[in-house]
Chains A and B, each alone.
Chain A
Amino acid sequence: MKKVWLKDWFSFFVVIIICLVLLFIVSAVLAVMVRGIPRIAQSLATPEIQFAIKLSLYTSLVSTVFCIFIAIPVAYALVRVDLPLKFLINTLLDLPLALPPLVAGVCLLLFFGTTNFGAWLEGIGLSFVFTVKGIIMVQIFVNLSFMIRVMKAAFLSVNPRLEFIARTLGCTPAQAFFKITLPLSRNGIIAGAVITWARALGEFGGVLMLAGATRFRTETLPIALFLNMSTGDLDGAMAAANLLIIISLICLYIFNRCGGDFIGDTRGI
């Protein structure tokens, strides 16, 4: 059947709005890409950008792995376990999501920089202030709530009866989780991991507060962009910005491909 669109003035009006929004987003992104793309190969050869790429990849991958392994049990407990004060727990776990990243960074800076606990951690070699470990810590703190939310949605989409049936067939609760719920949440895990990684890669405010902005030390891609813009090196800034845009676009594509389907394996359906 042929779709009839723009069939009335209202449809025409909302389509115009969509076009304007698209135009605005694409123009803003293109403004950076048009300037940056021709010089990106040249910028990629500079040691500073190479350092920033390596550090960004390392910190974002480590923090994403931490987020996955923490978010899965937390989200499962929130969805399946009858916890007291669940609303309060949910609200508190969502707090980092609502905090401006700068504030999150300040919270972590004070926590690790001024408390006895922070001093004790430093004593055993876990120093987070103005270090690479600090970058990872900020990325975990800022993104964990998001990963928990995605995993909660993924677990909620799995019929709890399936787990119970697995129990009647001889599974322990852990076996039922690993053999049924987790495989059926696979798409949610992939989608959550990809978008968490993209967000970690672009994390700036919190990193600036806790890890600082030191060239060749805590210089991730967003920090490189900030430092180069501050010193007027537009080529370096555009290279970092373009890399972040390209990575974001790829991640968004993967997220939308996986994230739209949390019902697990749909082969044959």
Chain B
Amino acid sequence: MIRLSAVSIKLGDFLLDNINLTIHSGEFFTILGPTGSGKTVILELIAGLYRPDAGKVLIDEVDAANIPPEKREIGFVYQDYALFPHLNVFKNIAFGLQIRKISPSMMKKSVKEMADMMKISHLLGRYPGTLSGGEQQRVSLARALIMKPKILLMDEPLSALDPNTKWVLCEELKKIHEKYRCTIIHVTHDFNETNILADRIAVLLKGKVRQVGVSREIFEKNGDQEVAQFLGIGPIKKAFACSF
């Protein structure tokens, strides 16, 4: 379980203010909000890039303040995939295993299995710069999943993809979640992705969590005016909610 308890952090002019969130083990949790609302900062706080100015990030009820990122058992997938450009796909996926000093034969076997599952076996010798957005996304996911993380953090992983690739990967993300049962925290500004993937949703606006609930509650219950405005008020919202 991940718990953010009264977490605040100021980064330049941006303030993430008094965030209280509980994400259950094995849950697919989506943080929904417009650009600049602080979604990525929440993920980076959980991952250990920042320490909160106030409040606590608790992972399995342990204060994570003194746990460095490498000990948090997390996987991170960024919007731009952040693949290592000087390493080929095989070495990108095997990177974490190499750090853990896994034997070369075991490493090869694990990478092959993961590449088969992500349908990227034919790309193992290629460099990231030669891959399409969808292929890079699969490599980035494979690199994170091969470490069997307890928590998978995904920062708008589908936003740069064309609609067809996006929906194919959405389905695959659901399957991955069903297979690994790791806790997934996924941030997006896309309502469709949210509805397809999320067990629960938090709406984040201007650095504050404004509403938390399952999809139907978020899209049908009246939150405050700003939330309603962001989600699309009146008939637009209802039509949207009905389509899922």
Give A residues with C-beta under 8 Å from B.
159, 161-162, 164-172, 175, 179-180, 183-184, 263-269
Contact = CB atoms under 8 A, between A and B. Distances in A.
A164 B82 CA distance: 10
A167 B143 CA distance: 13
B125 to A, nearest CB: 10
Contacts of A183: 86
B129 A268 contact: yes
B75 A168 contact: yes
B70 A167 contact: yes
B69 A167 contact: yes
Interface stretch (B95-103, B108-116, B164-172, B187-195): B95-103
B100 A170 contact: yes
A170 B85 contact: no
Nearest to B125: A268
Contacts of A161: 78, 80, 82
Contacts of A267: 86, 127, 129
Given A165-B82, A180-B84, 16 more contacts: A159-B82, A166-B84, A167-B69, A168-B70, A169-B96, A169-B147, A170-B70, A175-B99, A179-B99, A183-B86, A184-B86, A267-B129, A268-B127, A269-B85, A269-B129, A269-B130
A164 B47 contact: yes
B235 interface: no
A264 B128 CA distance: 13
Contacts of A263: 85
**A-B pairs with the 5 shortest C-beta distances?**
A269-B129, A268-B127, A169-B96, A265-B86, A167-B69
B42 interface: no
Contacts of B74: 168
Interface string B195-211: 00000000000000000
B126 interface: yes
Contacts of B130: 268-269
A167 B70 CA distance: 5
A168 B86 contact: no
Given A159-B82, A264-B86, A165 B76 contact: yes
A269 B78 contact: no
19 contacts: A164-B82, A165-B78, A165-B82, A165-B84, A166-B84, A167-B69, A169-B95, A169-B99, A170-B70, A170-B147, A179-B95, A180-B84, A183-B86, A264-B86, A265-B85, A266-B129, A267-B127, A267-B129, A268-B127
